[in-house]
Homo-oligomer: A and B are copies of this chain.
Amino acid sequence: MNYPGKIKKDVKSVNMTFKRGMDLEELINMSNTYYLDEDIAVIYKKPTPIAIVDASFDSHGRVITKAYFKEPSTLDYNGIYRGKYIDFDAKVTHNKTSFPLENLHQHQYEHMKNVIKHGGISFLIISMNNNIYYLDGNDIIDFISNNDRKSIPYSFIQDKGYIIEQKLRPSLDYLKVIDKIYFKGD
């Protein structure tokens, strides 16, 4: 399929510095659309969970008139790639020396452990120091299990993580890292 608008957006994104979580989210969403269009993987961002307090009806149908954002109990993205269950989240930090673990809520961490225990692949995509890293869930669990620190040092991310290639399409080729780690030699 031909998406002129999206390609334009890609070009813009590749050349920009990531200032907010939204930009990283956009890159991932565009990559997922590419993976879907090219029949490579089926991965979606989950809708943001909200708690509806009040709703009524207007000319467009049912309308929510009061709702709050809820803290998600899972990670934001999931789906299937090469028969494997994939489950991950995107995090942005402006901290230059370490990734603060307060970015990964306790129930998100528990979810990550559950996914891996049941045979899935879980990871974080971390935007930090002008690079976008893939950090595998096994390395995150390994770090947290063996450290009392409240943040993951940047050196650990540089050592264990993988820089995700940014290109035109897909804008963020994170599945290439999964190929490297989980489908070696295939």
Q: Which of A36-44, A89-97, A156-164 contacts B (4 or more CB under 8 A)?
A: A36-44
Contact with B along A111-130 (1 / 0, CB 8 A): 10011011110000000000
Q: A42-B111, A61-B69, A68-B62 are known contacts. Are A82 and B119 too (CB-CB below 8 A)?
A: yes
Set of chain B residues within 8 Å of A74, measured between Cβ atoms:
44
A39 CB, min distance to chain B CBs, angstroms: 8
Q: Does A46 contact B (CB under 8 A)?
A: yes
Assembled-state Cα–Cα distance A73/B147 (Å) = 41
Q: Contact between A83 and B47 (Cβ–Cβ < 8 Å)?
A: no
Q: Contact between B80 and A36 (Cβ–Cβ < 8 Å)?
A: no
**Interface size (A, Cβ < 8 Å)?**
39
Assembled-state Cα–Cα distance A118/B43 (Å) = 11
Q: Contact between B69 and A80 (Cβ–Cβ < 8 Å)?
A: no
The chain B residue with its CB closest to the CB of A80 is B85
Q: A36-B114, A46-B47 are known contacts. Are A66 and B68 too (CB-CB below 8 A)?
A: no
| 3 nearest A-B residue pairs (beta carbon) | A83-B119, A47-B49, A80-B85
Set of chain B residues within 8 Å of A67, measured between Cβ atoms:
50, 63-64, 67
Q: Does A65 contact B (CB under 8 A)?
A: yes
A-B contact pairs, 17 of them (CB 8 A): A36-B114, A42-B111, A42-B118, A42-B120, A44-B73, A44-B74, A47-B47, A47-B49, A47-B50, A61-B68, A63-B68, A64-B67, A64-B69, A67-B67, A80-B118, A82-B119, A85-B85
